Amino acid sequence: MDHEEIQLISRCQQGDQEALKEIFDKYHKRVYRIAYGVVRHREEALDIVQEVFVKLFRSIKNFKGRSHFYTYLYRMVMNTAIDHSRKMGKQFVSSLDEEGSFEPSEEIEKGPERILLQKELEEKVKWAMEKLPIEQKAALLFREVEGLSYQEMADAMGCSIGTVMSRLHYGRKRIQELLKDYVGPPGQSSGPSNPLKGEGVR
């Protein structure tokens, strides 16, 4: 943590709302990304952002500076997002069926409607992420979306680096199985039915 951030947090701990605003300006996108990654729903994610910063203002006195502030914040976001999902009493189920009988449409694959394919892919990824245990989902979001290091992830998730690696490994393995038509599992080369391999969504 740099000196400026320490001062900012200290001001916020004394109840300075301007300091909270500065923290919000600095971190709100990261908070939203994690929230959206968990719930995959715009309004829900925005509600979580709001809840996190209100909660932060109330509880920032408990932050002792032993870890990076953002890992403290990430943990708060993840817990809030999980609580939020439970409170809403629903899974953010995609339009795909629970058995995972999703098959890529050949017409779309061959046709020019790249946007449609992307939309389908997003739905498929959303569905696949929902299948993961929350720890693996959190690990994937922290690593793939936020680019946290193993150590930062361990701090944010309150576990060891070994556990982080294990969650990442099994999370990737599971999601590659679920998305095998799009992302071939390690050790297998993908055929032409894998349109995104190596080139991403865009």
> Does residue 28 interact with other proteins by CB under 8 A?
yes
Site membership for other proteins, residue 202 (CB under 8 A): yes
86: left (phi over 0), alpha (psi -120 to 50) or beta: alpha
**174 touching other proteins, by CB under 8 A:** no
Residue 11 binds other proteins, judged by CB under 8 A: no
Pick the binder of other proteins from 13, 79, 190, 193 (CB under 8 A). 190
Count of residues near other proteins by CB under 8 A: 55
Measured from the CB atom, is 33 or 75 closer to other proteins? 33
Contact indicator for 94, 130 with CB cutoff of 8 Å: yes
Count helices and strands in the chain by DSSP H and E runs: 9, 0
**Residue among 3 and 199 whose Cβ is closer to other proteins:** 199
Cα–Cα dist 30/151, whole Å:
18
From the number of C-beta atoms within 10 Å of its C-beta (0-12, 13-18, 19+), residue 4 rates as exposed
Indicate whether 17 belongs to the interface with other proteins (CB under 8 A).
yes
Does 149 participate in binding other proteins (rule CB under 8 A)? yes
200 binds other proteins (CB under 8 A): yes
Contact status: 1 vs other proteins (CB under 8 A): no
Q: Which two tokens stand for residue 177?
A: 């199985």
State the nearest-atom distance from the C-beta of 187 to other proteins, in Å.
5
User: Would you count residue 175 as binding other proteins (CB under 8 A)?
Assistant: yes
| Chain-centroid distance, C-alpha 197 | 21
Question: Which residues in 79-105 are b (16+ Cβ under 10 Å) and which e?
Answer: ebbbebbeeeeeeeebebeeeeebebe
Residue 123 to residue 188: CA distance in whole angstroms: 24
If one asks whether residue 172 binds other proteins (CB under 8 A), the answer comes out as: yes
64 near other proteins, judged by CB under 8 A: no
Q: For the chain, give percent helix, strand, coil, nearest 5.
A: 65, 0, 35
Name the site residues for other proteins (rule: CB under 8 A). Answer: 17, 20-21, 24, 28-29, 32-33, 36-37, 40, 42, 45-46, 49-50, 53-54, 57-58, 121-122, 125-126, 129, 140-141, 143-145, 149-150, 165, 168-169, 172, 175-176, 179, 182-190, 196-202
